[in-house]
Structure 1
Amino acid sequence: MSEFVVTKRRMIEARWEAVVSRADGAAIEEPPKLAAVLDGKQLLGLTFQRGEEGAWEMGVPIPAEAIADGIRTIVILDAETDDCLASISLLSGDALDEDLRVEVNLLRQELDMLKRAFRRHCVET
């Protein structure tokens, strides 16, 4: 298990920003060894700056190849343990419309099923 915790701050101008701290709250003396991976390839350009209270500010540039129809995910890994610490999901394009419609339809069906079960439970008790 990784000793690091990654907490997202924001995404702005094709740059994902987060704070990296230790799980036990101790200060991190050197920049953490983390990697950002998209489709099995490590992304370049991660930046680290010393932050407050022993944490580090991390910046991950979002490459153009990460932007495409559908859902794309960049995974932030501890380079030493390969533990997944965070993920960046990018959703866009025509394929997304279909995905969302299907998901909303499934949610409606599940809600209807729960309503029927709840009503049946109320009648029985």
Structure 2
Amino acid sequence: MTDMILTKTRIRAGVWEGVLHADAPPQIEVLHLEKPLAGVSVMPDNSAPGQFLVSVPVPADLLSDGVQTFVIRDIASGARLDSFTIVTGAPLEDDIRAEIDLLRAELDMLKKAFRRHCLETMT
């Protein structure tokens, strides 16, 4: 079998959905903390040969404060096809996105101060 390509399409009503391009019907599994999830569905896409619709229901009992990562992999080869992360609960102070937002805010402040300084020194 050639390489499989999995593309996320959306997460809706607690179900992750994607399109998998493969030559033959794949067998995939989704792991959370190294345990497989139940209810993973792979169905042929009747509108396009070689495409399969993947749906992964995310159980509510797996969601808790913090970051939860789900890994989608091919059972036959063990290759990782994709992963998705769900962040819930209070914002994490050490989260990299929070740090990037803080850096952006500081950079905007510095740009304004620099522009003001340039205008003041020109006259």
Q: For structure 1, which runs of at least 5 residues remain unmatched after alignment?
A: 116-125
Give the deviation of 1:87 after TM superposition.
0.6
Equivalent AA in structure 2 for residue 32 of structure 1: P
Which string of whole-angstrom CA distances, capped at 9 and with x for unpartnered residues, describes residues 13-36 of structure 1?
1101111113xxxx43xx311110
Q: For structure 2, which runs of at least 5 residues remain unmatched after alignment?
A: 112-123
Structure with higher Rg: it is 2
Alpha-carbon separation, structure 2, partners of 1:103 and 1:39: 27
| Change in CA separation of 1:40 and 1:106 when aligned onto 2, cut-off 3 Å | farther
Q: Secondary structure at the match of 1:45?
A: coil
TM-score w.r.t. the length of structure 2 is 0.72
The number of residue pairs the alignment matches comes to 104
**Segments of 4+ in structure 1 off by > 2 A?**
99-109
Match runs of 1:22-101 below 5 Å = 22=22, 27-28=23-24, 31-51=25-45, 52-94=48-90, 96-98=91-93, 99=95, 100-101=97-98
The structure that is helix-richer by fraction is 1
Q: Secondary structure at the match of 1:68?
A: coil
Q: Secondary structure at the match of 1:53?
A: coil
Identity level (%)? 30
RMSD over aligned Cα, in angstroms? Answer: 2.2
Which string of whole-angstrom CA distances, capped at 9 and with x for unpartnered residues, describes residues 45-72 of structure 1?
1112211222110110001133111111
